[in-house]
Structures are given as structure tokens and as C-alpha cells.
Amino acid sequence: MADRYLHFTGTAPGRFLTRRLGLPQPAPLRRWSPGAPDPAGPVILRTAGRSALTGPLPLGAGESAGVPGGEGAGETGRAAAVVLDATGVTGVADLAGVHAALHPLVRSVAPGGRIVVVGARPSGDDHHQAAAQQALEGFVRSLAKETGGGRTANLVRLTSPDPAPAASTLRFLLSPKSAYVSGQVLELTDAAPADTDTDPARPLAGRTALVTGAARGIGAAVAEVLVRDGAHVVCLDVPQAGDDLERTAGALHGTALPLDITAADAADRIARALPDGGLDVLVHNAGITRDRRLANMPAERWAQVLDVNLAAVLDVTDALLKQGAVRRGGSVVATASIAGIAGNTGQTNYAASKAGVIGLVRSLAPRAAAAHGVTVNAVAPGFIETKMTAAVPLFIREAGRRMNSMGQGGLPVDVAEATAYFADPSSSAVNGQILRVCGQSLLGA
């Protein structure tokens, strides 16, 4: 269902009326499209104090446009992005450098632009450094709520002085692919980026991905983006969705796998269906809701949600890793939800299952990396425009759309882009992360 309010606020009468009434004025978001510059303009690089890095930040294509020292915003005075190196911030006094670096630049960021702060992991031994680096999180989350105009602000934490592991994360956060990701924190490991000769525009070329719940909605969008990035996709969904599943897989030249993910032999059947005997990307997107308040929720509604959303994710992941079906350098991406972070009335079962996914990711990620060479991460969508949310009562739907810093719902492609970022082999330093794709929802952290 179209967001008519978003369309209305883009008209002259809509802008006038919403401004006079103090209503949200969401800006249309610039998302990825073929041939569009990425990022669309100059990138300004600043440093708060002295950098703690051993080399320059890997800004990729934007690096040539960025000018250290803060010049280069062009004749319009508008920059596509500002990147602040705050890795050397070790005390309260150093935070003045954060203000000094960004205060004069915030207004120069173009609508739809990006602000990325690069910090260090808070120290367990130096509480002054830990306090200052943690302060950056509050700073970035607040700045993201101030920027408006479709702009985003995010924080990247590095584990070591080597900036190389940040390449894929900076590329994602500076691009239109992260349009609905703001006010978030990503902490990277010191894993070296994968050595690959593949085309950066098609990082998954020659790789196989499995997407569960792929017949429609978010799952279909994930499959489409992974194919865009070069993957062959196996699309899995319940047999009852067979017609939609065949259409989705056929349009993507993928493989349709009608299967109940909760079946006892699901992992074995998945392994047999893989066209080349192995899997590089495992995306757990399948999920259901059976909403009722706990006092009115029978045991079978509780069990159905926990079985599909959590038990199947655990069982299938464990079995495929044990069989070696997920190849080294591969990735597991699960779908959590902001409901699992902030809770939601009438969704004790759903929120428990999605919080369980977060626990799975945080525990399994370091062990899967060490034993199998596989990363494990999760996306946590907020309000996403799907057929399911279109059926939500009007006032609840409007609240879901407006209760975030961007004042609008996200699209399935926003979740898909975050999934593809995790699946990119150059994201090997991104492990154990929960990335909220929610337009900086006002619920939760």
C-alpha cells in the first residue's frame, strides 16, 4: 500500500500544512539504482585530534572526491558525505575535536547524504578511553535524529589500528544501499578482507545463496538483490506458497525448493538441492506471526512461532555447518526484528523468537568464524512496507511508519541491501553484528 502521507508532504500544500501543524515531513529516500554515482558527490574526510590508524581509511570511489582537511564540497557547498576519524579520541578533552570537526560541516551535507564516524572499540583497561569512545555512540544516535532530509549518521568501531577491515562497511554506509539505516553502530573484528578477484559490482559471482521464505515480500527482495550481486539463488518456502515460489525463482533464474523449514530432514533436503553441492550464503528469512496477548495465547500459537522463527534457524544452521555445506568464506544472515529488541504488545512469542535469533548470532559468530571460516550476522527490520503491514489497521500502520527518525516505513529492498552487505565476501570483518534496518526507530536503542 502506498504511503499517501509521504506523497502529500512532497507537494507544496503538503509542505505548508505539515510545517504549520508541526507534523513529520519525511523526505523521499535515495536508494540504489543502476548507473547512479555512489556516493553522489564529494566526500569530506576529517580527523578529531590525532588518528590512531596505521593507514588511510578505505573510502573507495569516494576517496578521490574527498579532500583531507574538509575542503572539496564543490560550488554548491554540498557534500555527499562526511567521514570523521575519531579513533584517536581517548578522553573527554578529545571530544571537543569531534564538535570542532563536524559543527561547521553538518549543514553542508546534501539531502540524502551520509555522516560516518569511525571510532575504536571501548577499552576494557582504560576507562577514560572507554568513556570517550562510548560517548561517540550517544553523539551519533542524537546526530542521526537531527539531520533530517534523508541524511543518515552511523558509527563504525574498529578493533585494531588497521583500517582495511572497514572497506566494505564504509562502502555500504556511504552508498544509497543504506538509505534506511541510521543511528546504528557496527563493531568490526580485525579479520583481513577476503582476497577476491571478483567484480566489486558483483561480489557474489560464482556463489550460491539459499534464502528461506523467498516466495514473496522481504525474502523475494533479498533473493533479487543477491542475484543482482552475482549469486545463484535457491529460493525456499513452504509448499503452500508453491506458485509464488516458482514465479520468484523463475524470474531470477534460480532454483525453487518447496520445503517446510521445520521438517526434521530440512537440512538434508537443502544439502541435496544445492546445485553445486555447497552453499556460500545462508539467509534465514522465513518467519511467521501468531499475535495475541499472553493471557489469551494458547500453547500451540506460542509453539508455532518459536518453531519456525527460532528452532528451525538453530537446527538448520547447526546441521549445515556440521555437514560442511556452508563453505569457508561464507556467511549466515538471520532475520531478527526490532520487536526482539524493544518488545511489542501482543507479540511475546514473536519477540521471544527474534530476541533468540540475536542471542544465536552473538554466541555462534566467533565460534563459526574460528571453526568454519563463516560469519554470522542478523538484520533487524523495523516497519517495512509489505502486504503484511498493509493489512495492519490504519492508525497502527501510520504510527509504525512515523515513529522513526525518517518518518516513513522502509522497503523490502532496504532489508535486502543490508543482507547483501553481510553476504559480501569482503565483509569478513563483520561478524556477530545486529544491524537495525528501521530508519532509526524511536523504539529500543
For residues 339 and 351, the answer to whether their CB atoms sit within 8 Å is yes
Give, in degrees to the nearest 5, the angle at Cα 27 between 21 and 32.
Answer: 170
Rounded to whole angstroms, how far apart are CA atoms 306 and 439? 27
For the question of residue 5 being annotated catalytic, the response is no
Dihedral over Cα of 431, 437, 443, 445: its sign: positive
Helix (H, G, I), strand (E, B) or coil at 280: strand
In order of 250, 337, 346, the CA distances from 381 in angstroms are 27, 5, 18
Kind and range of the H or E element at 98? helix 95-102
445: nearest Cα among 373, 349, 330, 343: 343
- Angle separating helix axes 299-306 and 348-372, nearest 10 degrees: 30
Cis-peptide, bond into residue 39, ω within 30° of zero: yes
| The C-alpha cell that represents 395 in the structure block | 492508525
Rounded to whole angstroms, how far apart are CA atoms 177 and 171? 9
| The C-alpha cell that represents 401 in the structure block | 511508519
Dihedral over Cα of 47, 169, 197, 62: its sign: negative
Catalytic residues: 350
